[in-house]
A and B are shown apart, each in its own frame.
Chain A
Amino acid sequence: MSVITDAPRAQDSGGQDDDRSRSRRTRRRVWRALQYVALVLFVCFLGFPLLFLVTAAFKTQQELQSPDPQLLPAQWNLDNFIGAIERAGLGQAALNSLVVALATTLIVVVVSLPAAYALARFQTRLRGLATGWILLSQVFPFILIIIPLFLMLRPLGLNNTLGGLVVVYVVWSLPFALWMLRGYVAAIPSELEEAGAMDGASRLRVLVSIIMPLLGPGLVATALFAFIGSWNEFFFALVLIKDEALQTLPQRLALFVGSEGQVALGQLAAGSLLACIPSLVFFAIIQRRLTSGLLSGAVKG
């Protein structure tokens, strides 16, 4: 829990006169109310477009082109969903995307965790090198690296395979994951480890029982990055995957966009909505893990 909360805890200061504590309580209530207002505004700003997407997916072509747009569709019809699934074969594409995104996430987390720990804690020459490389690989325009990368994967037989996509996504999410995780590890006071070590716990035990729980939220955030990054990636999939059976969701969704700005908006919205669902479910499950609450326990113990 953080700064702006925790009204109840401050109440124990005792011995203060009633007026002051009452005015304090009122102030606290106003503060809480303001927090809710702000949260609602944020939620509207970030969530409103989803509403747009949902309603567009159920509208007919006539409604979408209507000069007098209504918020809700006149009738909730499913034609766009049927059309989108038939036209783009979204089922197989979703499965491909899921396999690629999950594999990428898993590998990135497993591989970057130890390296990020080393980056944050050890003063080695590698640290400078790794930091330089991380920044360089993020700064250099990805678009200019695609062709050499493509030419490199071909002799390895990795073009036109989902494995090739996983390799690329792992390599290009790693720097980001390393850099993020390094930040989270650095934020954990190293005294905690030293205290553990003094208590006689082995280094590994210290890592597993003290650092890992504290790192939980950071790991979740990093996993989300890797997952979403590969779930949404379009350009490399476009050039690497040729078989329709292996295409990913963003590739199939691109088929709803025609030349000269023509868009099959209803079908695109329906398809995108279906494409969003796995991520949203994933978010809903994983967001609980963003709460650690274990830190105080670790320190007290």
Chain B
Amino acid sequence: MHRSIRAVAGIGACAVLLTGCAFGGGGGAAATSDPDEEVTLTFQSLAFQDATIQATQDIVDTWNADHPETQVEVVQGSWDNVHDQLVTQFQGGEAPDIIHNEASDMTGFAQDGYLADLSPYLSDDVVDSVGEGLWESVTIGDAVFAAPTVMQSYVVFANTAMFEEAGVEVPTGDELSWDALREAAQQLTADGRFGVGWGLRQPTAAFMNLGLGFDGTYFDVADDGSATIDVGEGELAVPEAVHAMAYDDASLDPVTLTQSGGDVLPGFLGGQYGMYVGGSYLAQQIADSAPEGFEWTVLPPLAGSAGGVQGTSPQTLSVPAESEHADRAAEFIDFFMQPENLAAIGQGDCLIPASEPARADLASATEGQTGWTEMLASGETLEAAPFQLASGYPQWKDQYATPLFQQYLANAITLEELQQQLADGWEQVG
């Protein structure tokens, strides 16, 4: 067998010499096409809920009717494997002209130089409609690699019937402090039922985004993507609070900490948990799956010592640097960013539009519907989380942060060990 492997390797070595190394994709400049030429652009959309798929198609149809020279064709992709698909497509120079994804996942592609700078093509209206902080999360140097469309915030859903039964007042107001959450959870815990269920199978993003409410930024990121880590009180406040609810107060079902949001939903709908923490998109699932007569609402945004601020990784649209029609693709993105379009997308997915006027549109469109006022309120305080721009973040997240948070939530390591090992892990990666 040794001999055979050597023989095979020999044949292959010749093949490599003949064809050159496959992993060196050539660099291509973003082209500007002849304005009269008719082109068809592919738009890989990841819309998942039926309503959003429809809204996306409607936007594209409207565009196509007005722009006979630039037709857009929707190709349905899936969140589950978009990353792998893009890696391969970028390597092979075959990425779709318009790419739908989320900012934290696109950062790596942008750092690798695969994405076109959109800033020359976006209209002033669009630029002004989105907060500066959000633009910063999709900018490297001076280049804007994506346009933020809609965002997710973490919200607390409440089973109002259970509150009433336990004689607990449903919290109202502008903010819900973590202490108030803890207190309500304790009051709701009784007879084998828990105050809170929280699907934290993938805890890193949740902890880091909510950490901003305690000024916990984790990283100090320089312009070139290099970063230093600092895990202090602010960073650890959220994990500590969750841990305390699970193990000190026993008001949070620890089993849910090992599950996904979807796994915990039946328990919330079945009255097992008085409150359910998760992404705002879950509102859509609650509305679809709740049994008859299930009464629920969304509580005010969670606030830490630094207020109700949360980090977010917005959904985005980008254009590959190698697209032959980068200018036209960017024009379509500009159109997509119009308030009525983003409002329709946000409504379909229960997500918050990145653009101010779109949020206003959505607020009037959803007036009186359960949860929307609170969800849109939480959207006001969303900020781009700085850690997304740190190069090496994905590796640190997979190899250190996620397993460490999981161990801490399983009560297998202490807070001090967590703090130490999170920082040590970054040294290993960086």
Contacts and interface: CB of A to CB of B under 8 A. Distances in A.
Contact of B289 (A65, A135, A239, A259): A65
Contact of B288 (A61, A83, A146, A148): A61
A273 B199 CA distance: 29
B10 to A, nearest CB: 11
Interface stretch (A48-56, A149-157, A165-173, A217-225): A149-157
Given A154-B92, A258-B79, A261-B263, A132 B272 contact: no
Interface stretch (B83-91, B209-217, B414-422): B83-91
Contact of A242 (B84, B94, B202): B94
Nearest to A262: B262
A235 B88 CA distance: 10
A235 B85 CA distance: 8
Contact of A132 (B4, B199, B290): B4
A262 B8 contact: no
A151 B22 contact: yes
A65 B261 contact: no
B85 A238 contact: yes
Nearest to A244: B75
B281 A260 contact: yes
Given A62-B290, A132-B4, A67 B92 contact: no
B270 A254 contact: no
Residue from A66, A68, A69 with most neighbouring chain B CB atoms (10 Å): A66
A111 interface: no
Given A62-B290, A62-B291, A257-B78, A151 B92 contact: yes
Contacts of B366: none
A136 B5 contact: yes
A254 B266 contact: no
Nearest to A252: B76
Contacts of A66: 266, 269-270, 291
Given A154-B94, A238-B81, A242-B94, A255 B1 contact: no
A287 interface: no
Given A67-B272, A68-B270, A154-B94, A238 B289 contact: no
Given A62-B290, A262-B285, A133 B8 contact: yes
B260 interface: yes
A148 B5 CA distance: 19
A263 interface: yes
B1 A242 contact: no
Contacts, number: 121
Contacts of B199: 261
Contacts of B290: 62
Contacts of A148: 22-23
B76 A147 contact: no
A146 B267 CA distance: 41
Nearest to A234: B81
A135 B1 CA distance: 9
B50 interface: yes
A79 to B, nearest CB: 12
A132 B10 CA distance: 14
B277 to A, nearest CB: 13
B265 interface: yes
A242 B44 CA distance: 10
Nearest to A126: B4
Contacts of A114: none
Interface in A37-76: 61-62, 64-69
B403 interface: no
A282 B81 CA distance: 30
B265 to A, nearest CB: 6
A152 B16 CA distance: 12
A173 B400 CA distance: 37
Contacts of B2: 132
Interface in A226-281: 235, 238-239, 242, 244, 254-255, 257-264
A159 B88 CA distance: 13
B80 interface: yes
B160 to A, nearest CB: 18
Nearest to A65: B289
Given A150-B92, A151-B91, A242-B75, A65 B279 contact: no
A131 B22 CA distance: 27
Please indicate which of the listed interface residues B46, B94, B288 has the most CB atoms of chain A within 10 Å of its own CB. Answer: B94
A128 interface: yes
Given A87-B50, A128-B3, A147 B88 contact: yes
Given A129-B8, A147-B92, A238-B85, 6 more contacts: A65-B266, A244-B75, A258-B49, A258-B80, A260-B202, A262-B48
Interface of B: 1-5, 7-8, 22-23, 42, 46, 48-50, 53, 75-76, 78-81, 84-85, 88-89, 91-92, 94, 96, 199, 201-202, 260-263, 265-267, 269-272, 279, 281, 285, 288-291
12 contacts: A69-B266, A129-B8, A131-B4, A133-B4, A150-B91, A159-B92, A254-B80, A255-B78, A257-B78, A260-B260, A261-B260, A261-B261
- For the complex of A and B, the 3 pairs showing the least CB-CB separation, nearest first, are A67-B270, A132-B4, A261-B260
